[in-house]
């Protein structure tokens, strides 16, 4: 007959092993008690230091909230309100080329009653209004042929908007083109083209980049950009120039 061992029973631990295990357990708890005691003692000895740190954190949080509510937000509102007239001069200049130069000056320098973009930039740095003023100032200098100033302001512009960001980079490229710094212009046209993928800015700056590349005799570079323009933006106005320019690039 087959035999089997009965399951379910636990063998008793030898007395010596049990005593050793109890000793180890007691030692562990003793160590934990000692560590806890040391921690409590350290906290007690350094209570003032800890409370000071907590106080600094609380003060920092309240300072941040106070800055946001009593400085940053009012500054944003004030700068936006003050810039309204300068922005109006800027918009009218874009709509009426016959008065453009005088209106651009008013937009930049103010009209005697209201600040212009330059004052907004200097007085409200970091505000949204100052960022828009920086972009507008750069574009005004570009339109007025002051290319170094245009580059200076447009390089300082920090864009959250993909279209404005691309236009600012394209404006820098336009200024470099006018200064006959074509390699710099090509670099910035490429940056402008790659800044945002849309039908407004990308085909515009792909075309300009290709034209400058051809001027520099960078034909393979121009060919690549023109092929991208033809393949991905065939319905845009810029695509109609591809055939002629591509023939030049492949010649």
**DSSP annotation string for 167-234:** HHHHHHHHHHHHTT-HHHHHHHHHHHHHH--STTTHHHHHHHHHHHHHHTT-HHHHHHHHHHHHHH-T
* Domains contained in the chain, number: 2
As a whole number of angstroms, the distance between CA 218 and CA 248 comes to 11
As a whole number of angstroms, the distance between CA 141 and CA 116 comes to 14
61-113 per-position pLDDT tens digit: 444 344 344 344 555 566 677 788 889 999 999 899 899 999 999 999 998 88
Among 9-18, 91-100, 234-243, name the one with the lowest average pLDDT: 9-18
Boundaries of domain holding 164: 160-251
DSSP 10: -
Residues 107 and 61 in one domain: yes
CATH number of the domain residue 237 falls in: 1.25.40.10
Name the residue among 135, 167, 165, 164 with its Cα closest to residue 152.
Answer: 135
Write down the mean pLDDT value for the chain.
79
As a whole number of angstroms, the distance between CA 230 and CA 29 comes to 76
- SS3 state of residue 114: coil
- Above pLDDT 90, what percent of the chain? 57
Q: What is the pLDDT of residue 34?
A: 55
Residues 144 and 178 in one domain: no
Residues 195 and 111 in one domain: no
Residue 30 has pLDDT above 60, yes or no: no
Q: Cβ neighbours of residue 56 under 8 Å, at least 6 residues apart? A: none
Whether the full predicted model's pTM is greater than 0.85, yes or no, is no
Q: How far is CA 222 from CA 11, 31, 199, 226, 245, in A?
A: 85, 74, 19, 6, 8
The reply to whether 218 falls in a domain is yes
Name the residue among 167, 250, 166 with its Cα closest to residue 230.
Answer: 250
Residues 153 and 164 in one domain: no
As a whole number of angstroms, the distance between CA 198 and CA 201 comes to 6
**Would residue 215 be called left, alpha or beta, if left means φ above 0 and alpha means ψ between -120 and 50 degrees?**
alpha
Interval 190-208 mean pLDDT: 96
Among 10-24, 73-87, 111-125, 147-161, name the one with the lowest average pLDDT: 10-24
């Amino acid at each position: 007959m087959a035999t089997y061992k009965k399951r379910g029973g636990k063998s008793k631990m030898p007395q010596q092993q049990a005593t050793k295990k109890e000793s180890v357990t007691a030692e562990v708890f003793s160590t934990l008690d000692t560590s806890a005691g040391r921690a409590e003692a350290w906290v007690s000895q350094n209570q003032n230091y800890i409370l000071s740190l907590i106080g600094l954190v609380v003060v920092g949080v309240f300072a941040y909230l106070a800055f946001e509510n009593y400085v940053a937000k009012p500054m944003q509102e004030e700068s936006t309100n003050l810039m309204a007239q300068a922005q109006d001069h800027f918009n009218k200049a874009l709509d009426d080329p016959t008065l453009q130069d005088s209106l651009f000056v008013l937009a930049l320098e103010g009209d005697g009653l209201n600040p212009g973009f330059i004052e907004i930039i200097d007085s409200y740095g970091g505000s949204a209004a100052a960022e828009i003023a920086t972009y507008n100032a750069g574009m005004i200098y570009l339109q007025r042929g002051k290319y170094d100033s245009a580059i200076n302001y447009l390089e300082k512009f920090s864009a959250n908007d993909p279209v404005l960001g691309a236009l600012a980079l394209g404006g820098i490229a336009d200024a470099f083109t006018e200064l006959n710094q074509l390699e710099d212009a090509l670099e910035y046209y490429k940056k402008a083209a790659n800044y945002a993928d849309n039908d407004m800015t990308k085909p515009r700056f792909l075309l300009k980049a290709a034209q400058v590349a051809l001027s520099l005799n960078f034909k393979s570079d121009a060919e690549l950009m023109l092929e991208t323009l033809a393949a991905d933006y065939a319905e845009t106005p810029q695509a109609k120039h591809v055939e002629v320019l591509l023939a030049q690039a492949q010649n």
